[in-house]
Amino acid sequence: MKRPSYATDKVLKQFIKNALEEDIQDGDHSTLSTIPKDLQQSAKLLVKENCILAGVELAEIIFKTFDKNLIVENYIKDGEVAKAGDIAFIVTGSARSILSTERLVLNCMQRMSGIATLTHDWDSRLIGSKTKLLDTRKTTPNFRVCEKWAVAIGGGTNHRYGLYDMIMLKDNHIDYNGSITNAVKMAKDYVKKSKKKLKIEVETRNLEEVQEAIDAKVDRIMLDNMDVATMKKAVKLINGSCESEASGGITRDQLKDIATTGVTFISVGALTHSAENIDLSLKAVM
């Protein structure tokens, strides 16, 4: 699949640089002390449990950022089903380079595959509906690019990437400002003055706030912690005047029922904060 626009070469290069510096610092002394400089070897990425594999493209970028002479032969692509016992790829080249990048590659791929697998499972519950599954900003600091990329690989849709690419007026913004009407007016004035192309979303907690947000003419209304019956009433009120988003403690078992309300999106923080890592290993090929 095509790499998301936010996963730029610049962003990934900085991420990899910081991660390698954190791990290696003044040297991978285990490797430097035991592995000859010129030794050439291969290693295979072994899948140890069924999953939707993610992080394959990133793994190759990590390897080649560290050592441009490493060669990666891929057998399973990002987003494809992988089964226990499968070999995802074989990397060949400097044994030192393979060993020094092993843990970073595995940390990324195990986490990303866990997120992609969970996302794929949840998204499958929405088949047949027009509702899309969104992630959130509930991500690991400095690892967001990988986690949101994994959601996309798993079939989910990325919400805003950060605070900079959308205006989302949540409960605290509204409470600090006094009302939805006031907060939206200020946000629209800001957008006009700054000449930025930013959509405005408002979090609502009841039907009265939904109506206020409709009157304020926002781009999307979040229905926060509402039961399905209330969501149905809210979507009917909105009547296609803007997008709608169900959010707040949503579980897998609720997805189908929520989709029947006609909401445009369902956002789920659990996709990134509660996914379990997939067991993967990088094994020497002898």
Q: Which residues are catalytic?
A: 138
* 60 annotated ligand-binding residue: no
* 203 annotated ligand-binding residue: yes
* 103 annotated ligand-binding residue: yes
Cβ neighbours for 222, distance < 8 A, ≥ 6 positions apart: 168, 201, 202, 203, 204, 244, 245, 246, 247, 267
Residue type, 217: K
* 188 annotated ligand-binding residue: no
* 65 annotated ligand-binding residue: no
* 196 annotated ligand-binding residue: no
Strands 200-204 and 220-224: parallel
Dihedral sign of CA atoms 116, 122, 125, 129 in order? negative
Crossing angle of the two packed helices 144-153 and 9-24, in degrees rounded to 10: 120
* 101 annotated ligand-binding residue: no
* 151 annotated ligand-binding residue: no
* 137 annotated ligand-binding residue: yes
* 262 annotated ligand-binding residue: no
* 48 annotated ligand-binding residue: no
| Long-range pairs for 138-143: beta carbons < 8 A, 24 or more residues apart | 138/269, 138/272, 138/273, 139/272, 139/273, 140/272, 142/15, 142/18, 143/15, 143/111
Radius of gyration over every alpha carbon of the chain, rounded to an integer in angstroms: 22
- Alpha carbon distance 11, 144 (integer Å): 11
- Alpha carbon distance 262, 15 (integer Å): 39
- Alpha carbon distance 161, 145 (integer Å): 9
Q: Among candidates 163, 131, 167, 139, which has minimal Cα distance to 256?
A: 131
* 248 annotated ligand-binding residue: yes
* 130 annotated ligand-binding residue: no
State the binding site: 103, 136-138, 160, 170, 203, 224, 247-249, 268-270
State the binding site for substrate: 103, 136-138, 160, 170, 203, 224, 247-249, 268-270
